[in-house]
Structure 1
């Protein structure tokens, strides 16, 4: 999981952040548009949207972003019995496929926003 940040505002709700989750089993990215000022609870609700379609993940790898180290996220991981692993940012030995997919996805999202293509709710 990682964030694509500081995007040009897009859509009716002016999304400017995007949570990118890469499902390593299916090798597919999942994009969740959000706002910079969303609370940890709002972001946990986004997580609910993902798990309702994919099921729970056994292991989650992310850099040490404070959004993923909050008490709400820790409680979610404890409740769902998922393991949260931290890696250093841009560390291909740990999560090379995810980092590359996130990098490509970030370029794609930025181009969509630059051309006025909007996120659909």
Structure 2
């Protein structure tokens, strides 16, 4: 998922990043290792090709999640699925699927 986030950000911010040198700080070490794979499978190769134009200008750094607390605050912040939560979705108790 982290790599898909990176692809999304590169696509959205292309106008600002094109030609400049920048650093990507991620909490997922596999993003960095994915780019350095010598014999990737076809899916990984497709992702490597998707960011090929940024390879010379982009530095990917790994910063552990317990050190890099501000990076993923909203996606790792979970709220209980209770009626007082604005995003509450009633679930069938036995199946844990949304009631339609």
Greater Rg by CA:
2
Considering fraction of residues, name the structure with more strand.
1
Structure 2-normalised TM-score? Answer: 0.40
Structure 1-normalised TM-score? Answer: 0.35
